[in-house]
Structure 1
């Protein structure tokens, strides 16, 4: 259970204008600690040295199920069904305790207003509409490892300088957003996304902008979501590329079983119109509650890569289609503490489809000539 600190906020300077008032303010401190140990075979020492590498047995910085993080969120009752709200959330590597180099609150930093029956408007760094509308149909809930979440959603699944609307109407959620400059960190030279997340550019207002929307229906049995995402990364100032995604997902739950499946269309073009990546991504999974404490999951992921190119002038190729199977066993000691074991098998690529398209975010660069990769990870997760 998250720990809540409730305080009575008494206005100070504003009382000179509006009189003495009081408003109930709730602040929640929360976080996740997830520390795994992993074995993975046929992994290169780095993306730049594909001929060197082998098996790796280590404690990775990223968690097995969840990225380690801490944060705070709060609300203030403003009256007439209106609330002010904020969220600040940062990530860290639990194996070393080091904060992420991307910033103190690089995961979420937003403030907004919410009104019952109308929805909420939030401003700041947030997740995209595509993620909000589809994540409930992810077989492993966007697990930090052994699920190709970044391949599915894109590196821009968190964006800075965003204004976002979220409305909840019974079982239906509607989300829309616009980013004035995504703020995704610069990546390796030659990649479509290199410097494409530099943020706002007053001289060229379209650079690095993004927008999208999603609609989701979810009840205790059925679920269906559809979403669209557009990003305009600028490798060179004033020359915007284009990355578009459309995705649909669904789920069905009965007794201890839940089935989920979905599809994502993606097309990324360089500023000169040549294709960087065109692929179709499919997934399917089943979750089984074997006991009240033990959950078992089996998932399949498939990427049909139509065309891919490394630079704006490269001839496109059609690499082998990537596949991955993942099995997960998760045992809950309580609502806050669990242990897990996951096994992943990737064919024609790396685990989680790790590649230049994901900026090697999972640290699974492929060895030259390798066709398959196997990983086994186990760890402890605590939620507070």
Structure 2
């Protein structure tokens, strides 16, 4: 991180430390562990070899951010949020965008909240409460990577993502969130800002979440355009249920992307899993994902992936964790000369502040 970035952040955070009435908060997550893989690279891509690495973000993505809220009277408030991803192993930011995870400002009241800036798409918002693994291991979790488009693997920028590898977050985005009893309604539009075309690189979507008692149901649909007006359409729908000390979750998602004027890629993700609070200090999570991919002129392929997490709470803010995963590639998804199965094991520590 550059010195000027640190100085800027320190200056921005100072009011939170010196003025009791300020609502500005500096927060973050530091997650790092030792990971060994067989049949995958250090970046978890298919491989014929093994690797041992110091990994970051296996449990939860390492990050830090600033958020704040000011009461304006009569129930109206203003808010902001800046957040950047971190690589704990190297000390670098996770993206060329400094505030890659969030850069928003907005207003809210009883009628809801409107935010503008770089923010998550509605698929990500909908998957979050119903993901089988509880949104752990973002770079490896198919609900995050494929269902919510963090790493769609299409090699084209859909929407104003600033990247050709994923569209989990969008620039120039306007989002509405309204909470009405057990229902949360969301709508989003991202401006493409391409000269001569209002639709190129734009994105629009809607989502609903219903949460009451032990039940949660959540879904969203969103459409993304490229600079050439190729379309990617995606939806996700899932549910979670708290049964005593066990949380059950399942989700289904599908995306269809035009990768050229004559070619299309369809990807489907099915998932199910459970988290058992074995004691007040120990949680155990198991999740299974199946990804199926169809591409014009190519054989259908995919993989099945299972994750097992055990977390032990040392305190309210610090956890030790162990993770085990197994991936079974199907029909050549892994590529020529790579193993058709892969395993990984990680032990690490996570601290929040």
Same fold (TM over 0.5): yes
Instruction: Give how far 1:271 is off.
Output: 4.1
What's the CA shift string for 1:309-341, capped at 9, x where partnerless? 5xxxxxx21233310111110111112100111
**Residues in 2 aligned to 1:280 and 1:210: alpha-carbon distance in whole angstroms:** 20
Instruction: Give how far 1:46 is off.
Output: 8.6
Equivalent residues in 2 for 1:1-384, closer than 5 Å: 5=16, 24-43=21-40, 54-60=49-55, 62-116=56-110, 118-144=111-137, 145-148=139-142, 149-154=144-149, 155-181=166-192, 200-234=193-227, 239-275=228-264, 277-305=265-293, 307-309=294-296, 316-348=297-329, 368-384=337-353
Query: Would the aligned equivalents of 1:64 and 1:378 in 2 still touch at CA under 8 Å?
Result: no
Query: Would the aligned equivalents of 2:42 and 2:52 in 1 still touch at CA under 8 Å?
Result: no
Deviation larger for 249-258 or 91-100 = 91-100
**Residues in 1 aligned to 2:177 and 2:43: alpha-carbon distance in whole angstroms:** 40
What's the CA shift string for 1:112-142, capped at 9, x where partnerless? 00002x0000000001112112211001222
**Residues in 2 aligned to 1:216 and 1:178: alpha-carbon distance in whole angstroms:** 18
Partner in structure 1 of residue 162 of structure 2:
none
What's the CA shift string for 1:261-291, capped at 9, x where partnerless? 111121111341421x113210000110000
Instruction: Give how far 1:168 is off.
Output: 1.1
Query: Would the aligned equivalents of 1:298 and 1:325 in 2 still touch at CA under 8 Å?
Result: yes
Instruction: Give how far 1:8 is off.
Output: 5.6
**Residues in 2 aligned to 1:320 and 1:205: alpha-carbon distance in whole angstroms:** 36
Task: Sort the Cα spacing of 1:163 and 1:299 in 2 relative to 1 into closer, same or farther, 3 A.
Answer: same
**Residues in 2 aligned to 1:96 and 1:45: alpha-carbon distance in whole angstroms:** 14
Instruction: Give how far 1:143 is off.
Output: 1.5
Query: Would the aligned equivalents of 2:48 and 2:337 in 1 still touch at CA under 8 Å?
Result: no
Query: Would the aligned equivalents of 1:134 and 1:216 in 2 still touch at CA under 8 Å?
Result: no
Please provide the CA RMSD for this pair: 2.5
Query: Would the aligned equivalents of 1:34 and 1:67 in 2 still touch at CA under 8 Å?
Result: yes
Secondary structure, aligned partner of 1:112: strand
**Residues in 2 aligned to 1:45 and 1:78: alpha-carbon distance in whole angstroms:** 49
TM-score with structure 2 length normalisation? 0.85
TM-score with structure 1 length normalisation? 0.78
**Residues in 1 aligned to 2:15 and 2:30: alpha-carbon distance in whole angstroms:** 18
**Residues in 2 aligned to 1:80 and 1:366: alpha-carbon distance in whole angstroms:** 60
What's the CA shift string for 1:159-205, capped at 9, x where partnerless? 11000000111221111101113xxxxxxxxxxxxxxxxxx322333
**Residues in 1 aligned to 2:216 and 2:134: alpha-carbon distance in whole angstroms:** 14
Task: Sort the Cα spacing of 1:100 and 1:324 in 2 relative to 1 into closer, same or farther, 3 A.
Answer: closer
Deviation larger for 76-85 or 95-104 = 95-104
Structure 1, unaligned stretches of length 5 or more? Answer: 10-23, 182-199, 310-315, 350-354, 356-364
Query: Would the aligned equivalents of 2:15 and 2:22 in 1 still touch at CA under 8 Å?
Result: no
Partner in structure 2 of residue 358 of structure 1:
none
Report the number of matched residues. Answer: 321
Task: Sort the Cα spacing of 1:212 and 1:4 in 2 relative to 1 into closer, same or farther, 3 A.
Answer: farther
Query: Would the aligned equivalents of 2:130 and 2:251 in 1 still touch at CA under 8 Å?
Result: yes
Query: Would the aligned equivalents of 1:256 and 1:289 in 2 still touch at CA under 8 Å?
Result: yes
Instruction: Give how far 1:96 is off.
Output: 1.4
